[in-house]
Amino acid sequence: MEKFQTLRSTAVPLPIENIDTDQIIPARFLKATTREGFGANLFSDWRYTSDGQPRLSFVLNDARYGGQILLGGKNFGCGSSREHAAWALYDAGFKVVISSYFADIFKGNALNTGLLPLQVSDEVLQRLFRQIELDPQTQLIVDLPTQTLTVPVWEESIGFALDPYKKECLINGYDDIDFLINQKAAIAAYEKQRPWAY
Amino acid sequence: MGKSLVDKIWDAHVVKVVGDLQVFYIDRHLIHEVTSPQAFDELAARGLTLYNPDQIVATADHNVPTRNQHLPIQDPLSRSQVDKLTENCAKHGVELFGLGHEYQGIVHVIGPELGITQPGMTIVCGDSHTSTHGAFGAIAFGIGTSQVTQVMASQCLLISRPKRMRITVNGELRPGVTAKDLILHVIAKLGTGGATGYFVEYAGSAIRALSMEGRMTVCNMSIEMGARGGLIAPDATTFAYLKGRPYAPQGERWEQAVAYWQTLYSDANASFDAELQFDAGGIFPMITYGTNPGMGMALNGSIPLQVLESESVSFDKSLQYMGFAPGESLLGKQINYVFIGSCTNSRIEDLRAVAAYVKGKHKAPHVEAIIVPGSKQVEKQAIAEGLDQVLTAAGFELREPGCSACLAMNDDKIPAGAYCVSTSNRNFEGRQGPGARTLLASPLVAAITAVEGRIVDITKYLN
């Protein structure tokens, strides 16, 4: 997993609520057996017509918007547990998704992919949508060590929460497997004393 | 303070506490062809082996055709994914119920019916509907592929303890109201993200009265309101269902298991982070009108006229996709496709309910009705009971087991713009094929819709 420290970028606004992982990456693209290449089909049915032409009304096809931060409506990533959704976002160049809340499985998958799910209040999210609509060149600064989202044009820094262990993992590029395979003694000890062995 | 059911099972599986996270032990790991190949590759890339292959069971379900399963899979990508699963299972010594095996089927149908799923267990699978297994009083939840690798390598996950919610449904369900209507009603009240962060325990007399199939339908859709999982305390219904199943404990071991399982319930003074109560009598046959499972209503109800201003963009987008208007009733809408299947409603009880209604009737001429059993065992039982004859005579096409048109990874797709009344779990845009319009409902509503060819108030059609 790649390390994440600080990111300064414009953002792509997608003010839709309950964006499910079937939209992020439709099931018919899940037939690959590797992790690469899912970015090409990110938001496929919103991004392209049935004959493969870009839908100009969709934000990823709108030249005014760009950047490594995606701004999504509340309950981002609901539905299927497919980690391919996080892979597709990452593969398409996104490093951060900002929303007012994330579906649980997506949040875990994003963190395991090196994609930061950054949670802000509903109010901040709506202000961000308005700001970026007003000026698509608005810069955002995400600083993981201080857990702050800074909007220079507002002269404001907003704190965000993240599990301290997950924060260390992202900063250092570690993942849970490294940690878990070093727990074998504890796991073996647990197996000897569990209340019921299935 | 007493303990809740979730806490009892959770505490029995904590290997170690690490700050706010816990090393959490997994008893059973179910895998399938779509979310496991990258996990096996990751394992190999790191030079790791499976912690214990005996705790893993595999099947091919998401991507398989539902016709001619005895022939090689036509789609080269699907074939390669299924072949990869076969190869990985052989190499690592994992038990596989692949195509052609008598136990093959949808992962959340076969686990319970084979007795692999048991009370008090922790069960994971790279599939969000793993919550289904909670019907047996297990902690069961869906995970991503990185976590699949973690469980393969260590039999553990590093996760946080969930919040606890109890949803109590008391009273009796009305005639024609099923477990599917019950859970669609609850999701419509909570919304598609209303239980995010919670593990939900379903309780109350209406839940107790459900069969195991009905309980599985309820727990299956927990994820559709954002819950990490859902579960129901095991009882005599659970034990009777499990007894004698191929992988259930036998003999003396069975007696010991039941004695342990009988301790798995929420203590009278257990505390919950959230509690909700519903009256079973206030639940009516349901249907969804939008593009998430929270957008549901009683069949004879109307689509809301307006929603909160902050939600109006998504609401309008959803209705535009569905071709419906605010305030509209769905009664009388012509339907061209009916899909009966998926891990929500493809069990023998579901097929029986459909067959009981359509016996001696015929589907409307403009309707294409497919019924996909959840497993080879369900298919076998349906044939033994003669349900195949009844369904075929009614114009339904009985297919071979798999996830099928629930997620349309295989050839079973609904055409763009067409309406499909589906017994599956998700009505997301494009879920059943690009542009497809899905209306979620119970098997009974689906059967009546197929016969009438349009949405009707089913209460007038019950015997």
pLDDT tens for each residue of B50-80: 999 999 999 999 999 999 999 999 999 999 9
Residue B376, pLDDT score: 98
| Cα–Cα dist A180/A162, whole Å | 20
B23, pLDDT greater than 90: yes
Q: Under an 8 A CB cutoff, do B38 and A79 touch?
A: no
What is the share, in percent, of chain B residues with pLDDT greater than 90?
97
User: B residues 184-223 near A, CB within 8 Å?
Assistant: 192-193, 196-197, 223
Virtual torsion, Cα A88, A89, A95, A99, nearest 10 deg: -150
Q: Measured between beta carbons, which residues in chain A are less than 8 angstroms from residue B155?
A: 187
A155, pLDDT greater than 90: yes
Segment B194-200 mean pLDDT: 97
pLDDT tens for each residue of A87-127: 999 999 999 999 999 999 999 999 999 999 999 999 999 99
DSSP state letter for B375: B
A195, pLDDT greater than 90: no
Query: Which residue, among B199, B228, B202, has the nearest Cα to B215 in the 3D structure?
Result: B202
Instruction: Nearest chain A residue to B194 by CA: give it.
Output: A75
User: pTM of this prediction?
Assistant: 0.97
Residue given tokens 């963190």 in the structure block: A111
Residue B309, pLDDT score: 81
A151, pLDDT greater than 80: yes
How does the average pLDDT of chain A come out, rounded?
Answer: 96
Q: Cα distance from B362 to chain A (closest Cα, Å)?
A: 33
Residue B128, pLDDT score: 97
Q: Under an 8 A CB cutoff, do B21 and A126 touch?
A: no
B205, pLDDT greater than 80: yes
Segment B288-298 mean pLDDT: 98
Rg of the Cα atoms in chain A: 18
The answer, for B150 touching chain A at a CB cutoff of 8 Å, is yes
A32, A75, A80 ranked by CB distance to B128: nearest: A80
Q: Answer for the pair A112, B146: CB distance below 8 angstroms, yes or no.
A: yes
Q: Answer for the pair A125, A99: CB distance below 8 angstroms, yes or no.
A: yes
Q: Measured between beta carbons, which residues in chain B are less than 8 angstroms from residue A45?
A: 429-430, 434-435
User: A residues 124-183 near B, CB within 8 Å?
Assistant: 126, 163-165, 175-177, 179-181, 183
Q: Return the higher-pLDDT residue of B323 and A175.
A: B323
ipTM entry: 0.96
Virtual torsion, Cα B362, B422, B404, B292, nearest 10 deg: 170
| Cα–Cα dist B401/B378, whole Å | 9
Segment B154-162 mean pLDDT: 97
B200, pLDDT greater than 80: yes
| Helices and strands in chain B: count of H runs, count of E runs | 15, 19
CB neighbour burial string for B74-96, b if at least 16 within 10 angstroms, e if fewer: ebebbbbbbbbbeebbeebebeb
B463, pLDDT greater than 90: no
Q: Cα distance from B128 to chain A (closest Cα, Å)?
A: 5
What is the share, in percent, of chain B residues with pLDDT greater than 70?
100
pLDDT tens for each residue of A42-72: 999 999 999 999 999 999 999 999 999 999 9
Q: Measured between beta carbons, which residues in chain A are less than 8 angstroms from residue B146?
A: 83, 109, 112-113, 175-177
Q: Is the dihedral of CA B81, B82, B86, B92 positive or negative?
A: positive
- A53 burial class (0-12, 13-18, 19+ CB within 10 angstroms)? exposed
| Number of neighbouring beta carbons within 10 Å of residue B124 | 26
B104, pLDDT greater than 80: yes
B82, pLDDT greater than 90: yes
Q: Answer for the pair B126, B144: CB distance below 8 angstroms, yes or no.
A: yes
End-to-end alpha-carbon separation of chain B, Å?
Answer: 49
pLDDT tens for each residue of B265-278: 999 999 999 999 99
- B254 burial class (0-12, 13-18, 19+ CB within 10 angstroms)? middle
Q: Measured between beta carbons, which residues in chain B are less than 8 angstroms from residue A22?
A: 407, 426, 428-431
Residue B21 banded pLDDT, cuts 50, 70, 90 = very high
pLDDT tens for each residue of B303-349: 999 898 878 889 999 999 999 999 999 999 999 999 999 999 999 99
| Cα–Cα dist B186/B208, whole Å | 16
Residue B127, pLDDT score: 98
Q: Answer for the pair B20, A16: CB distance below 8 angstroms, yes or no.
A: no
User: B residues 335-394 near A, CB within 8 Å?
Assistant: none
Q: Under an 8 A CB cutoff, do B409 and A31 touch?
A: yes
What is the share, in percent, of chain A residues with pLDDT greater than 70?
100
| Cα–Cα dist B372/B405, whole Å | 9
